[in-house]
Amino acid sequence: MNQYETPEKKAVSIAKLYTQHLGEKFSRFQSILEETGFDEIVIGSGESKMQFADDMAYPFKANPYFREWLPLAKRAGCYLQISAAAAVPRLFLLNVEDIWHTAPEALPAGFDQGLEIVEYASIKELKTHLSKTEGGIAFINETNELGLAADCWNSKAVTDQIDFQRRAKTPYEQECVREANRQAVPAHRAAYQAFMAGASELEIAAAYLAACNQSENEMPYAIIAGVNEHAAVLHHHNLFKQPQTPRSFLIDAGVAVNGYASDITRTYAFEPGSEFAEMIRMMDTVQLELVAAGGIGKCPIELNVLSQLKVAEVLRQFDVLKVSAEEAFDADLSAAFYPHGLGHHLGSNVHDRGSNLANAQGDKVPASEKYPKLRSSAPMVANQIHTVEPGLYFIPALLEKLRAGKHAAKFNWSRVDKFIPYGGIRIEDNIVVHGDGRLENLTRDAFAASAF
């Protein structure tokens, strides 16, 4: 899809890709039905939930198994039926009179091709359209309103198959994440400008939302906007309302398009010529090197090891470490400054599923002994979308343990103390691993194409 197309042409193009996407997903799920022996797979979007002891509902978000089929993230009470006996998937939409709420979310124009759409008024009526064979339905949903047997509700045999095949994204899914990157870039720039103008963290987040024209509830995840020391809080969501004397700023925020997410992080120094600004530039170089190291068949565990070594090299170059990067890595010293993995699979889940599966039967790739909590461990495959997000942080709780530990003499603590007020650095791009070996950096392309 051409980024210079008119909105009308873009809408037509994405609708065509969506029709192809439905065909590809339907074919994949037919194979899953054959493998698992079910007559059909029924996926619910979910139901809205009421807050405890209140008459207010939580914001609704359809489950990711439903979102990878349909761009109806805000519509509860939907069901998708994929049957071995049908030619196309069937979408059931709840049709009841409701004068209290806005009309439910509708499919975008052109997205009804390749679908059979049926309206229903009750679960009793819905069941008349489903398989009558005992044990014939594999039902995926948070609640079991169909009253199926336990081995038919969220069957692991089925969800493992789905999670394994969803690693390879269709052209439609890739375009959704690509567009989510395009829409996030102006918002990132608006957030940066708000920071440079001395805004509070809450004001920065508001500037982000205004620039991408979405509400907070439409975000794929809560905006992380950390000024100064708060940049060292990996998931800083309790945004301050009071402005602070600006030194540094880390923003981790995306946009959702048709249920698919972008996940982008950038870090800025208030003073462009400062030593911290130079550290950001060096981490940016490291991040691009790690992007280039990926590709089909590459092992995320090995790439994570490489990222730890590269971050240790940055610490050594800035005289934070008194020992070599290799010695720091061997003693696990760099992990205190970089306590998370290099990245994760991205799609209808921000942390998409399936990236630690060895096969469709649910066997997992053995976890790394050194990094057992990594989200991705299986080799990269064609058409997969990954984030690449190395970080370098000065987290007081972790640093105090080092300062009191047996390796304290291996650090230059005056240098550590100098950088603590800046919090930390994370730079994150979204990458498509194409079948021809090409690595497409959706995030850098979006920044390059968008005027500042």
Rounded CA gap, 333 and 317, in Å? 15
Architecture of domain 7-165: 3-Layer(aba) Sandwich (3.40)
| Coil, strand or helix at 97 | coil
Residue 29 CB partners (closer than 8 Å, separation 6+)? 41, 82, 162
Residue 143 CB partners (closer than 8 Å, separation 6+)? 44, 46, 47
Using the CB atoms, write b or e for 405-416: b if 16+ within 10 Å: eeeeebbeeeeb
The CB density around residue 71, as the number of other CB atoms within 10 Å, is 23
Rg (Cα) of the chain, in Å, rounded?
A: 24
For residues 346 and 415, the answer to whether their CB atoms sit within 8 Å is: no
Rounded CA gap, 218 and 14, in Å? 20
Distances (CA, A) of 277 to 360, 416, 419: 45, 16, 11
Using the CB atoms, write b or e for 332-357: b if 16+ within 10 Å: ebbbbbbebbbbbbbbbbbbbbbbbb
For residues 373 and 341, the answer to whether their CB atoms sit within 8 Å is: yes
For residues 154 and 137, the answer to whether their CB atoms sit within 8 Å is: no
Angle at 309 between CA 419 and CA 290, to 5 degrees: 95
Q: What is the pLDDT of residue 3?
A: 58
Q: What is the pLDDT of residue 12?
A: 83
Residues in a beta bridge with 260: 257
Q: What is the mean pLDDT of the segment spanning 262-274?
A: 97
pLDDT tens-digit map of 132-165: 999 999 999 999 999 999 999 999 999 999 999 9
| Coil, strand or helix at 370 | coil
Ranges of each domain in the chain: 7-165, 171-449
8, pLDDT greater than 90: no
CATH of 171-449, one of 3.90.230.10, 3.10.580.10, 2.40.30.10, 1.10.10.10: 3.90.230.10
Rounded CA gap, 199 and 193, in Å? 9
Is there a common fold for 7-165 and 171-449?
Answer: no
Q: How confident is the model at residue 205 (pLDDT cuts 50, 70, 90)?
A: very high
Helix boundaries (H) for 77-167: 123-127, 156-165
For the chain, give the mean pLDDT: 95
Q: What is the pLDDT of residue 59?
A: 94
